């Protein structure tokens, strides 16, 4: 994934997405977070360039459909998004109390191709761990 501001427009173009100020700003916010984010985690007041809530929602879904970000399910069916890691899939751990989610890069990985019953397609595997974060454990 892109690590500099200059490569974000190239990434959007390569995914056949229009380069907009809101999409560039949203990807910058996500890159800065270093962990999966939910729509509610994006501070619209501090980052007005990302757009309003509806615009951010639409852009998150467009970026997910293009494969630039990945969506994962958090606690309470809360959708979380993170920059896609083309080089590897990784596992997440989610706090059952507050919903904080973090990446576990050293956890066992899933097979590259998920097993599935005959007739099923577009099957994705997701391995998640649950527990209490350091803040909630105190």
Among 72, 70, 73, 71, which Cα is nearest to 84's?
70
**CA–CA gap between residue 8 and residue 11 (Å, rounded):** 5
Phi first, then psi: give them for residue 101, nearest 5 degrees.
-125, 140
Residue 2 lies in a domain: no
pTM: predicted TM-score of the whole model, two decimal places: 0.71
Residue 33 in domain: yes
List the domain range (segments joined by +) for residue 44.
7-137
Q: What's the average pLDDT block by block, 10 residues per block, for the chain (138 residues)? A: 65 94 95 86 92 95 92 74 69 82 74 77 75 90
Q: Provide the CATH number for the domain around residue 44.
A: 1.10.10.10
Buried b (16+ CB within 10 A) or exposed e, 31-42: eeeeebbeeebb
Intra-chain end-to-end CA distance of the chain, in Å: 35
Query: What's the domain count of the chain?
Result: 1
Residue 1 inside a domain? The answer is: no
pLDDT for 10 equals 93
Which pLDDT value is given to residue 35?
80
């Amino acid at each position: 994934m892109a690590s500099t501001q200059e490569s974000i427009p190239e990434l959007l173009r390569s995914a056949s997405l229009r380069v907009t100020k809101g999409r560039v700003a949203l990807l910058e916010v996500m890159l800065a977070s270093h962990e999966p984010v939910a729509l509610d985690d994006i501070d619209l007041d501090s980052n007005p360039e990302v757009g309003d809530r509806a615009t951010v929602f639409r852009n998150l879904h467009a970026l997910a459909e293009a494969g630039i970000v990945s969506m994962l399910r958090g606690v309470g069916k809360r959708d979380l998004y993170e920059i896609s890691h083309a080089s590897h899939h990784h596992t997440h751990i989610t706090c059952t109390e507050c919903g904080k989610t973090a990446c576990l890069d050293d956890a066992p990985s899933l097979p590259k191709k998920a097993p599935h019953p005959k007739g099923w397609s577009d099957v994705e595997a997701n391995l998640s761990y649950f527990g209490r974060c350091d803040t909630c454990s105190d």
